[in-house]
Amino acid sequence: MTSPIDPVQLTADLLRCPSVTPVEGGALVLLEALLTGAGFTCTRVDRGEVCNLFARWGGKTNGRTFGFNGHTDVVPVGDEAAWTQGPFSGVIIDGWLWGRGATDMKSGVAAFAAAAIDFVRDTPPDGSIVLAITGDEEGDAVDGTVALLDWMQANGEVMHACLVGEPTCPNEMGEMMKIGRRGSMTAYFTVKGVQGHAAYPHRANNPLPPMVRLMDRLASHTLDQGTDHFDASTLAVVTVDTGNTATNVIPSESRATVNIRFNDAHTSADLTAWLRDEADKVAAQFGVEIAMQTTVSGESFITPPGPLSDLVATAVQAECGVMPELSTSGGTSDARFVKDHCPVVEFGLVGKTMHQVDERVEVAQIIQLKQIYTRILRDYFA
């Protein structure tokens, strides 16, 4: 009889792969070998400098398909000398597993892979299971999950529901799952004036007053009061720069950046139009030129509470004794791409140490996460 897959050991093995975006580091090679050996059909879907892995158990037309999305790439370790344990050591000390990616999110990938392998071995379902694992979630995310979804569409691959294994619990295991995410966009402003001597301001056109006025108008504006499933949208001024080191010179140019996290009351297009209108008003008032560029990381989305969220919440409550809060808080995740393919929710372990020096996870949580994922699969195919 085949022994169950140990999700803790698998997480430790993945942690020893130095897979800082976009380096694959051996993590996907390890998963591909493991899943192939368990009867999954695996395909590398690499694009650009990014490595991705698609794995399927069961045929394309074999009933329903439950999907999992996750990533094996990690953020840089920072000051390696500041780590108590090596960032790629994967060591267990006093019930904690240490390493970059321990919470975000190699443990989630390991827990689902272990659950899926044991599930199809023990009780082959009337349906299919897909794992779509990327190496580009922590980077630009252009050639990661997007590439996987593009490949799936081109090859007739379908998921009917998807679970993203990001860490979702703030403090206690099981307390929160994500049913949507806020949108995220960044706007870059450049005010062009006329340089001059600070003693003769009438001969110059100082870009700083219009820039400060614009930033105040944007930061003081209330975007909304929140919606049914989202908190109020926020706008943060994250930098204002001139690069001017002289005290007797009025600069010719000033730059500023704002970041907006927005709910489902807005689209990035609507917000871009509002930003442009505000900039034009200030430009006309001060007689300057204001250039603007925007980048959009993702639109706001919501998977309405229903069968998929009920499935995950019921499994979490059964294993943790806690009914998870349905939340849309936090930053962005690759669920923002998956939502265009199929209904998607997110559930994972406690994320307190993610991206920190000394990132680590409680071993017990990894075991519990595998149990939750196993129950989700069992109930989905019941």
Residue 22 near residue 141 (C-beta atoms within 8 A): no
- Cβ-contact 100, 87 below 8 angstroms: yes
| pLDDT surpassing 70 at residue 1 | no
CA dihedral for 23, 29, 32, 35, sign (positive or negative): negative
In sequence order, which residues have a C-beta less than 8 Å from that of residue 364 and are 6 or more positions away? 95
Backbone phi, psi, residue 250, to 5°:
-85, 125
pLDDT tens column, 334-356: 999 999 999 999 999 999 999 99
Six-digit token string for 86: 């090596």
Token digits for 327?
């939340």
Residue in this structure with the two tokens 């580091």, named with its chain if needed: 25
Ramachandran assignment for 168, one of left (phi > 0), alpha (psi -120 to 50 degrees), beta (any other): alpha
Cα 138 to Cα 19, 70, 130, 355, distances in angstroms: 11, 11, 21, 10
What does the pLDDT look like over 127-156, one tens digit per residue?
Answer: 999 999 999 999 989 999 999 999 999 999
Mean pLDDT of 206-225: 98
pLDDT tens for each residue of 265-311: 999 999 999 999 999 999 999 999 999 999 999 999 999 999 999 99
pLDDT value at residue 2: 80
Exposed/middle/buried for 11, CB within 10 Å: 0-12, 13-18, 19+? buried
pLDDT of 164-209, one tens digit each? 999 999 999 999 999 999 999 999 999 999 999 999 999 999 999 9
Secondary structure (H, E, C), the chain: CCCCCCHHHHHHHHHCCCCECCCCCCHHHHHHHHHHHCCCEEEECCECCECEEEEEECCCCCCEEEEEEEECCECCCCCHHHCCCCCCCCCEECCEEECCCCCCCHHHHHHHHHHHHHHHHHCCCCEEEEEEEECCCCCCCCCCHHHHHHHHHHCCCCCCEEEECCCCECCCCCCEEECEECEEEEEEEEEECECEECCCHHHCECCHHHHHHHHHHHHHCCCCCCCCCCCCCEEEEEEEECCCCCCCEECCEEEEEEEEEECCCCCHHHHHHHHHHHHHHHHHHHCCEEEEEEEEEECCEECCCCHHHHHHHHHHHHHHCCCCEEECCCCCCCHHHHCCCCCEEECCCECCCCCCCCCEEEHHHHHHHHHHHHHHHHHHCC
Active site residues: 73, 137
Domains within the chain, CATH numbers bracketed: 7-181+300-380 (3.40.630.10), 183-298 (3.30.70.360)
Query: CB neighbours (10 Å) of residue 86?
Result: 15
Predicted local confidence at residue 63, as pLDDT: 82
Q: Is the pLDDT of residue 20 over 90?
A: yes
Give bridge partners of residue 196 from the DSSP assignment.
Answer: 250
pLDDT tens sequence across 51-100: 999 999 998 877 899 999 999 999 999 999 999 999 999 999 999 999 99
CA-to-CA separations, 298 to 140, 169, 214, 261, 331, in angstroms, rounded:
12, 22, 25, 10, 10
